[in-house]
Chain A
């Protein structure tokens, strides 16, 4: 499927911000799809990790509306397989941070039921809050 890209729409500031925060040269991605092919969370994502890379590369800020960055659990499966040695987990983290740094959290303590709170190990709660709150 051909995708039409209008470069005049490219949000260069957004692209640069993500490159800076992630430390990844996103434009080097050659869209091979290896990251998407091995991602264990692909079923829960609305767009693939490689599409995230593409959209960031093109400075399409709408990528912030996707759920993918919140589903990506930094499992580093793609990180060790990317033929370009790019790290999608860092790009996901950068996208999450862009949102979280506007002081909008993805989760609040009140969302966790009392019963669950009793059951959950510290490691789960601390890990979750590190990823989902600013």
Chain B
């Protein structure tokens, strides 16, 4: 299956490990990510005011690229555009929803982008890779696993943007299961915990890092309390806060016990035995290999 893929800027820089592990893992189960040839940043956060159509141009331009890929036969009848970054997913989805539900807005945006070859017709669907896996079937994924992640206790961190607001959430806002089902398919143990969808502090990490320290510590403490060995995420900003900011908490107090942070696709790659270099573990801040070696999951 070939599917148009929107990477986003962070997956090309600090979150390379997310991208390479996802592409290699997807390939293992027969899904080819075809990168949009001229994608542009989605803007990260969705604009929430009623009058700011300008901020929806960036997402919509990416949808035009998907239309073109279909027209050029790069993909066949594939209106879906897959994302890995949860924030891209959220922002692109919210803009798309506005365009689909509001013909006037769509018209204005198209008029503004009159130099594009085509108008956006409103029929692209933004999907997160986790939803593709859900559709593929976690039973089927489990059958593809060649190295079950036995005894690895994983806390699945959803954060905000995969689940909220409801109109774009990929699962139940209060009791999501998709990541846990994914973890079980890999043969690992999915622990239950309270902080799975509690915000990590997001972009406050730039100018108000104390908020992030407080929230990250709360999230990691809750994972530890419930017996987790590691936390997984699907958002490069959550990952930065949980991984890099957590390591700074440790720098300030050496007795602090850290938990390693992985992208969900890194564990997927491990269970599907993709090449070790495609796991990109060298990009993870908190030492990622010790735990995996201890459980004989990595040599």
In the docked arrangement, what's the CA distance between A43 and B174, Å?
A: 22
**A73-B201, A73-B204 as given contacts; A90 in contact with B237, CB under 8 Å:** no
**Interface pair B237/A127, CB less than 8 Å apart:** yes
Residues of chain B within 8 A of A90, CB atoms compared: 48-49
* Beta-carbon contact of B207 and A93 below 8 Å: no
Interface hits, A74-118 → B, CB 8 Å = 74-77, 79-80, 87, 89-90, 93-94, 97, 107, 111-112, 116
B13 x A126 contact (CB < 8 A): no
Contact call B49/A21, Cβ cutoff below 8 A: yes
Taken together as a complex, chains A and B put the C-alpha atoms of A76 and B160 apart, in Å, by: 7
Give the interface size bracket for B toward A: 35 or more
CB <8 Å contact, B237 and A124: yes
User: What interface size band does chain A fall in?
Assistant: 35 or more
In the complex the two chains form, what is the Cα distance from A111 to B204 in whole Å? 13
B239 (CB) vs chain A CBs: closest residue? A121
Chain A residues, CB < 8 A from B52: 97
Q: Quick check: which of B39-47, B178-186, B291-299 contacts chain A, the rest being far away?
A: B39-47
Interface string of A16-42 (1 = CB under 8 A from B): 000011110000000000000000110
Per DSSP, are chain B's interface residues mostly helix, strand or loop, or mixed? loop
Contact A120 B214 (CB under 8 A): no
The A-contacting residues of B in range 16-50, CB under 8 angstroms, are: 41, 43-50
Chain B residues in 8 Å Cβ range of A22: 48-50
**Interchain CA distance A87-B160 in the complex, whole Å:** 15
Among A71, A79, A123, A130, which residue has its beta carbon within 8 angstroms of that of B237? A123
B45 touches A76 (CB 8 A): no
For residue B112, which residues in chain A have a CB less than 8 angstroms away from its CB? none
**By the criterion CB–CB under 8 Å, are B164 and A75 in contact?**
yes
Q: A123 contacts B44, CB within 8 Å?
A: yes
Q: Interface digits, B203-222 against A, CB 8 Å rule (1 contact, 0 not)?
A: 11111100100110000000
A131: CB under 8 A from chain B?
yes
CA–CA, A48 and B215, complex, Å:
18
C-alpha spacing A106/B26, complex, angstroms:
41
> Closest Cβ of chain A: how far from B86's Cβ, in Å?
10
Q: Is A4 an interface residue (CB 8 A)?
A: no
Question: Chain A residue with minimal CB distance to B209?
Answer: A116
Whether B166 lies near A121 (C-beta < 8 A) is: no
Q: Which of B162-209 contact A (CB under 8 A)?
A: 163-166, 169, 173-174, 198-199, 201-208
How far, in whole Å, are A132 and B164 apart by their CA atoms in the complex? 22
Q: List residues 41-65 of chain B with CB under 8 A from any CB of chain A.
A: 41, 43-52, 55
For B13, the chain A residues whose CB sits under 8 A away are 121-122
* Contact yes or no, B211 A41, CB < 8 A: yes
Q: Confirm or deny: A44 has a beta carbon within 8 angstroms of a beta carbon on chain B.
A: yes
Contact of A131 among B45, B160, B173, B214 (CB under 8 A): B45
From A41, A123, A132, B9 is in contact (CB under 8 Å) with A123
Closest residue of chain B to A76, judged by CB? B164
Q: Does B138 sit within 8 A of A, measured CB to CB?
A: no
Residues of chain B with a CB closer than 8 A to A73's CB? 199, 201-204
Contact A121 B14 (CB under 8 A): yes
Contacts of B10 in A (CB 8 A): 121-123
Rounded to whole angstroms, the CA-CA distance of A74 and B202 in the bound complex is 9
Which B residues lie within 8 Å of A107 (CB)? 206-207
- Residue in A closest to B241 when the chains form the complex, CB atoms: A124
Do residues B51 and A21 form an inter-chain contact, with CB atoms below 8 A? Answer: yes
**Inter-chain contact A124/B206, CB cutoff 8 Å:** yes
Question: Does the CB pair A40–B44 fall under 8 Å?
Answer: no
Given A121-B237, A123-B237: A21 touches B50 (CB 8 Å cut-off): yes
The 4 A-B residue pairs with the shortest CB-CB distance in the complex, in nearest-first order = A76-B164, A75-B199, A127-B203, A93-B48
Q: A127-B203, A128-B204 are in contact. List 14 more A-B contacts (CB 8 A).
A: A73-B199, A74-B46, A76-B164, A80-B164, A80-B174, A89-B48, A93-B48, A116-B206, A122-B41, A123-B44, A123-B85, A123-B87, A126-B41, A132-B207
